[in-house]
Structure 1
Amino acid sequence: MLDLFTPYTLKGLELKNRVVMPPMCQYSVPAKDGVATEWHYLHYVSRAVGGTGLIIIEMTDVEPDGRISDYDLGLWSDEQIAPLARIVEACHAYGAKVGIQIGHAGRKAEDAPVPVAPSPIAFSDKYKTPRELTTEEVKAMVEKYRLAVRRAVEAGFDTIELHGAHGYLIHQFHSPLTNRRTDEYGRDRTLFGAEVIRAAKEEIPADMPLILRISAQEYVEGGYGIEEAIEFSKVYREAGVDLFHVSSGGEGPIGAAGRPGTHVGYQVPLARKLKEALGVPVIAVGRLDDPAVADSVIGNEDADLAAVGRGMLKDPYWALTAAEALHKMIEIPKPYERGFAVRR
């Protein structure tokens, strides 16, 4: 039977276990120019020491005004490559593989003087009203994604994740709530995402899997649900996505009636439905901090990989402590062996 510590291979990506650290923005104060800092180095490398199989670095943006805040990372400049490459190399030394999430905040770019979006619709009355991108600007944005992916490959990442969830730019294009365009990118709301995917595939090695994070359900009146998500994901699969990272939410004010449950694993059924409908591997995420819950996601074949976010913010050695709790034999860094009852 499969479990959380069964190795996993997808194309040329070989993982020692199925534990994923999902992308979580650090909003690190020194990162004013989008360059990874010593904080980022310590943050990610400590999770590699802690036994994580796949670390996905936080949303890294394709242009300065595409960041959620001015303290987020970027890959719009060659100067940003070397600090990320340093992180990748160090994580590799401890047996972890490393991905990076490439994205653009669109209308949710809080520090942009004038955010851009598919349509001029503000996220809420506390956000700026974005400027609608022209058709030519949308095409130019695809190329910005391409160049960011090219730089990520140069930095040595093992996989690339595109951010198509949580109300950010790709999500804004495929959601009927935020895309009211009349041009080709409005008539086909998946066109922008598909073009970004194809551009990314042209930049990455043939054996490197491409991940897309999606919101499989919107918790807002008039938003889409899992059936619509399956349909647009079919388009993205055909464009070249190898692995879907299945989350939810992120668009519009979330009313009490539509708020996602606070129970553990509330997004796992969405991951399973997408996996079954598309016949593709998926990452499940959302309140999987309990090792037994994360292990059950793999053992029950709800998903191929399990992402643990808040649990890893609290404990950089979550994978090691999870292995101990589940009585799994894994490699413990020698200086730490005396602290664990389970060791190889």
Structure 2
Amino acid sequence: MAATNLNTPVPGIPFFTPQHLHSPGTPKELSSRTPTLFTPLQIRNVVLRNRIVVSPMCQYSTAPSGPQIGALTDWHIATLGHYAMKGAALVFVEATSVQPNGRISPNCPGLWDDAQIEGLKRVSDFVKSQGALVGVQLAHAGRKASTAAPWMSTVLGRKSKRAEKDIGGWPEDVKGPSGGPSQVWDGAFDIERNRFWTPKALTTQEIKDVVQDFANAAKRSMKARVDVIEIHAAHGYLLHQFLSPITNRRTDEYGGSFENRTRLLFEIIKAIRNVIPANAPLFLRISATEYMEEVDLGKELGSWDVESTIKVARQLPALGVDLLDVSSGGNHPGQQVDGMNSKGYHVEIAGRIRDAVLADNLMLLIGVVGMIREAEQAKDVVEQAGTMAQVGNVTQEEALVAKNLTDAKNDTHPMADVIFVARQFLREPEWVLKVAWKLGVEVWWPNQFMMAKVPETYFSLFKTSKHLDTSPLK
């Protein structure tokens, strides 16, 4: 290879960055011994270079007002771009609201206006230039909207704080499926102690507006060159609020029965699928349970549980959803378990859902998030999950083939097809490279960082070897 070909710029972006010799985080060699965690996965028209996804993580770092309201900034390029440089296969932008009053905080991003496309496109361009895919999580916070950035509540000794108008909040425009003091997330306490605002119930027309605004945000995502869209229906935000009989007390077509409570979610899925390309992947994040089954309120009203999620999961392939991202909780402070801070809970639940879907010969990928920190732990979640050639628009025969590919082998039992990792990336942006090293997998590093991984004879390797030695320094 001529030296002049070793510094080719990445095409199609408005700045120079060298094309990596190989995308960071990909194994030097694929063999039967390669852990599934480091095998590629194709979903519609995109290929994940491994099975490690950076989960959406709120950064509370966009402007709360003015012409840059809700627009991503250089902060997001620096943080999200770094995960891409260090080998993550898919990097998600945090919960991005489809309406101004759907932001979690005044400092959360949005895609309700065309002016917000450019900020997302800049992030997308950089992430993709490093060989990773970029996703955006479309969301509406519902009754948990208009809260302050968490560090503002920390100084008060609280878990969260309501955002008043003086810091950009919208206390009079917080909406949910149902309204009134009984629907305040943390209960109707003294006004000075509440961490959340009293919501108003959405009208039927406002619900239809929410559906359209999700679709509009999806179209803007495509204009920003995003690869994957995820719908946020977890953690007690608006779509989760509609799913749960605890928070959905409506008596119209959007409340009451399971069919009615899931109506908004399915309408949004259909609306987004209709406006994005057929080859663009669509994910759904869901709280698989809210851990309220044994709580008095759950016994009285019913609750959202794993069986409810399985009923939804079975309908997703026909609607064009490619992956179900399994999380839990967040809809009521009385939940029995804190799944996000309990190791192993989500993995077990994800395995149950995956087994149920495969038993019906359906093709739906399963992802899982929550307290995934160690290399062996990450490896075991997806081990022997197989490499699906294609997901989306498949026949029953193809689904049967996929089932055979993904059945457990050698007494292993895969719980999911990909892992979503959040807080560990905040601690260790290089987590993918560290995991590969611990598992004994030789993966490629970014060109610019190779000198940190090889002897000082680095530059001479261009003349003596077709492949750079990137084994860790001893």
With the shorter chain as reference, the TM-score category is over 0.9
CA distance in 1, matches of 2:280, 2:210: 23
Residues 259-311 of structure 1 show CA distances to partners (whole Å, capped at 9, x for unaligned) of: 44855332101111111212321111111111211111111421110111111
CA distance in 2, matches of 1:43, 1:206: 30
CA distance in 2, matches of 1:101, 1:232: 19
1:153 is aligned to 2:225: no
SS in 1 for 2:53: strand
Quick one: structure 1 residues 129 and 58, their matched pair in 2 at CA, closer, same or farther if it must change by over 3 Å? same
1:34 is aligned to 2:161: no
Q: Amino acid of the residue matched to residue 185 of structure 2?
A: F
CA distance in 1, matches of 2:236, 2:268: 16
Number of aligned residues: 343
Q: Amino acid of the residue matched to residue 175 of structure 2?
A: V
Give 1:308's aligned residue: 421
Structure 1 runs, 4 residues or longer, greater than 6 Å off: none
CA distance in 1, matches of 2:453, 2:327: 33
SS in 1 for 2:432: helix
Give 1:118's aligned residue: 177
Out of 204, 209, 228, the position equivalent to 2:276 is: 204
Q: TM-score, normalised by structure 2?
A: 0.70
Residues 66-99 of structure 1 show CA distances to partners (whole Å, capped at 9, x for unaligned) of: 0000000000010100111111111111110011
Higher strand share: 1
RMSD, aligned CA: 1.7
Q: Amino acid of the residue matched to residue 249 of structure 2?
A: R
Residues 30-83 of structure 1 show CA distances to partners (whole Å, capped at 9, x for unaligned) of: 454100011111111111111100111100001111000000000001010011
Asked if the contact 2:63/2:70 (under 8 Å) is kept, the reply is no
Superposition deviation, residue 29 in structure 1: 5.4
CA distance in 1, matches of 2:140, 2:176: 10
1:168 is aligned to 2:237: yes
Give 1:233's aligned residue: 313
SS in 1 for 2:94: strand
Unaligned runs of 5+ in 1: none
Once the two structures are overlaid, the 10-residue window that deviates more, 75-84 or 226-235, is 226-235
Quick one: structure 1 residues 238 and 56, their matched pair in 2 at CA, closer, same or farther if it must change by over 3 Å? same
Asked if the contact 2:62/2:109 (under 8 Å) is kept, the reply is no
Identity of aligned residues (%): 39
Once the two structures are overlaid, the 10-residue window that deviates more, 215-224 or 303-312, is 215-224
Q: Amino acid of the residue matched to residue 80 of structure 1?
A: Q
CA distance in 2, matches of 1:218, 1:14: 33
Superposition deviation, residue 237 in structure 1: 4.0
SS in 1 for 2:419: strand
Once the two structures are overlaid, the 10-residue window that deviates more, 50-59 or 28-37, is 28-37
1:217 is aligned to 2:289: yes
Give 1:143's aligned residue: 212
CA distance in 1, matches of 2:261, 2:237: 14
Superposition deviation, residue 131 in structure 1: 0.6
1:14 is aligned to 2:47: yes
Out of 298, 301, 323, the position equivalent to 1:243 is: 323
Give 2:445's aligned residue: 332
Superposition deviation, residue 5 in structure 1: 0.9
CA distance in 2, matches of 1:325, 1:224: 38
Unaligned runs of 5+ in 2: 1-31, 147-168, 188-193, 359-363, 384-412, 455-468
Asked if the contact 2:178/2:200 (under 8 Å) is kept, the reply is yes
Q: TM-score, normalised by structure 1?
A: 0.95
CA distance in 1, matches of 2:320, 2:131: 27
CA distance in 1, matches of 2:231, 2:282: 8
Out of 96, 101, 121, the position equivalent to 2:132 is: 96
Residues 83-130 of structure 1 show CA distances to partners (whole Å, capped at 9, x for unaligned) of: 111111111111100110001000000233231111112111322111
Asked if the contact 2:141/2:237 (under 8 Å) is kept, the reply is yes
Superposition deviation, residue 208 in structure 1: 1.1
SS in 2 for 1:213: strand
Out of 176, 187, 191, the position equivalent to 2:263 is: 191
Larger radius of gyration: 2
Superposition deviation, residue 13 in structure 1: 1.7
CA distance in 2, matches of 1:295, 1:31: 40
SS in 2 for 1:99: strand
Once the two structures are overlaid, the 10-residue window that deviates more, 118-127 or 302-311, is 118-127
Give 1:253's aligned residue: 333
Q: Amino acid of the residue matched to residue 133 of structure 1?
A: L
CA distance in 2, matches of 1:260, 1:250: 9
Superposition deviation, residue 316 in structure 1: 1.3
Residues 181-217 of structure 1 show CA distances to partners (whole Å, capped at 9, x for unaligned) of: 1111114111000000000001111011110000001
Asked if the contact 2:340/2:371 (under 8 Å) is kept, the reply is no
Asked if the contact 1:324/1:340 (under 8 Å) is kept, the reply is no
Asked if the contact 1:266/1:287 (under 8 Å) is kept, the reply is no
CA distance in 1, matches of 2:304, 2:266: 19
Give 2:404's aligned residue: none
CA distance in 1, matches of 2:340, 2:121: 38
CA distance in 1, matches of 2:439, 2:79: 25
Quick one: structure 1 residues 312 and 31, their matched pair in 2 at CA, closer, same or farther if it must change by over 3 Å? farther
